[in-house]
Amino acid sequence: MIHIDFLSSIYPLSAAKVVDIGAGDGTYARELARAGAQVTAIEIDEVKLEQLQANSHPNMQAMLGRAEAIPLADGSQDLACMFFSLHHVPEEVQEAALREITRVVKPGGRLHIVEPFPYGSMFDVVRMIEEETKVRRRSHALMRDLAQRDGFQLLEHKDYVLTRVFDDFDALLTKIVYSDQKRSNALPDVREEMQQVFDLVGETTPEGRAFHQPCAAYHFALNAAG
Ligand SMILES: C[S@@+](CC[C@H](N)C(=O)[O-])C[C@H]1O[C@@H](n2cnc3c(N)ncnc32)[C@H](O)[C@@H]1O
């Protein structure tokens, strides 16, 4: 998993207390737990929370919660992670989410945010069901802005490409559409066109159809001077 490979190359995960905010079905929370971290996976969506709980790990607990109201004690975490979730947090509560992160992470602890750019073959397919250009641009602007703020010391920044492979179109729908009610409702109107884009831009590999998502990872130290 490229996200965790990069993170573990710059931060020692073993025994670290880590909150994964907007954990989805828990793909990365489990990777963090396997790497030895004590993980709390926070998810706003009850259906995804069930998936998290069904596929947990001994080092991992899953909780219903929101980035802007994290159900954890002050200074209780070494590291907060957001993998592809910042652009899903509504703009009007993003600053509240950042305040919550600085509250639950201990002084000198870390914040690791990875956000997808609004381009790439994975984006070409996703945008058929949900147009995210604006929110993704905004989240990248916010990460660049954070790097200039007091209390957020940018330690690492890396752009890389996340590649996801799906057996077929239905496997992609299962991963990115069926677990989301809004996207499921939108599917009948766009399904045919979406399948055409899948067939057109998906790279044929021995493992299945591959889709590329360029993204940026920002790794901050929080309130390091405090
Ligand atoms: C694109 S998914 C990413 C899931 C997972 N991190 C991954 O990379 O596979 C974004 C997730 O953020 C969650 N989310 C949306 N708004 C949120 C909020 N305010 N607080 C916490 N999670 C939120 C969504 O329910 C969704 O599971």
CATH value at residue 51: 3.40.50.150
Q: Is 66 in the pocket of ligand 1 (CB under 6 A)?
A: yes
Confidence of residue 131 (pLDDT cuts 50, 70, 90): very high
Supply the range of the domain harboring residue 91.
Answer: 2-117+132-161+213-222
Q: Is residue 18 part of a domain?
A: yes
Q: What is the pLDDT of residue 70?
A: 98
pLDDT at position 224 over 90: no
- Tell which wins on pLDDT, 201 or 55: 201
181 lies in some domain: no
Residue 225 has what pLDDT?
Answer: 54
Q: For residue 143, is it within any domain?
A: yes
Ligand 1 touching residue 44 (CB < 6 A):
yes
Q: Does 80 contact ligand 1 (Cβ within 6 A)?
A: no
Which residues make Cβ contacts (< 8 Å) with residue 117, sequence separation at least 6?
123, 136, 140, 213, 214, 215, 216
Q: Is the distance from the beta carbon of residue 84 to the nearest atom of ligand 1 less than 6 Å?
A: yes
- At a CB cut-off of 8 Å and minimum separation 6, what does 86 contact? 22, 67, 94, 97, 113, 115, 139, 142, 143
Q: Nearest CA to 83 among 47, 111, 121, 58?
A: 111
pLDDT given for residue 209 in this prediction: 98
Percent of the chain residues topping a pLDDT of 90? 96
8 Å CB contact between 87 and 106: no
Return the SS3 of 84.
coil
Q: How far is the CA of 147 from the centre of ligand 1 (A)?
A: 22
pLDDT for the residue numbered 226: 46
Number of other residues whose CB lies within 10 A of the CB of residue 132: 17
Contact by Cβ (8 Å): 63, 39: no
pLDDT, tens digit, 9 for 90 and up, residues 132-190? 999 999 999 999 999 999 999 999 999 999 999 999 999 999 999 998 889 999 999 99
Judge whether residue 93 has pLDDT over 50: yes
Mean pLDDT of the residues in the chain: 96
- The band of 28, judged by pLDDT with boundaries at 50, 70 and 90, is very high
Decide: 11 in ligand 1 pocket, CB within 6 A.
no
Which atom of ligand 1 is nearest to 114's Cα?
8
Q: Considering the chain, what percentage of its residues have pLDDT values greater than 70?
A: 99
- Ligand 1: which atom is nearest the Cα of residue 66? 20
211 CB near ligand 1 (under 6 Å): no
Ligand 1 binding pocket includes 82 (Cβ within 6 Å): no
Mean pLDDT across 70-98 = 98
Domain membership flag for residue 169: no
Q: What is the pLDDT of residue 90?
A: 97
pLDDT of residue 133: 98
SS3 213: strand
CB of 51 shorter than 6 A to ligand 1:
no
- Nearest CA owner, ligand 1 atom 12: 22
Residue 199 included in any domain: no
Average pLDDT over residues 110-114: 98
Question: Does residue 194 lie within any of the structural domains?
Answer: no
Q: Let me know if residue 122 belongs to a domain.
A: no
208 pLDDT band (50/70/90 cuts)?
A: very high
Residue 47 belongs to some domain of the structure? yes
Cα distances (Å, whole numbers) of residue 184 to 24, 134, 181, 191: 16, 21, 5, 10
For a mutational test of ligand 1's pocket, the pick from 44, 47, 66, i.e. the residue with the most ligand atoms closer than 8 A to its C-beta, is 44
- The ligand 1 atom nearest the CA atom of 27: 9
Above 60 in pLDDT, residue 35?
yes
Q: What average pLDDT does range 202-225 have in this prediction?
A: 94
Q: What's the CA-to-centroid distance between 134 and ligand 1, angstroms?
A: 17
Any idea how long the chain is? 226
Domains of the chain: total:
1
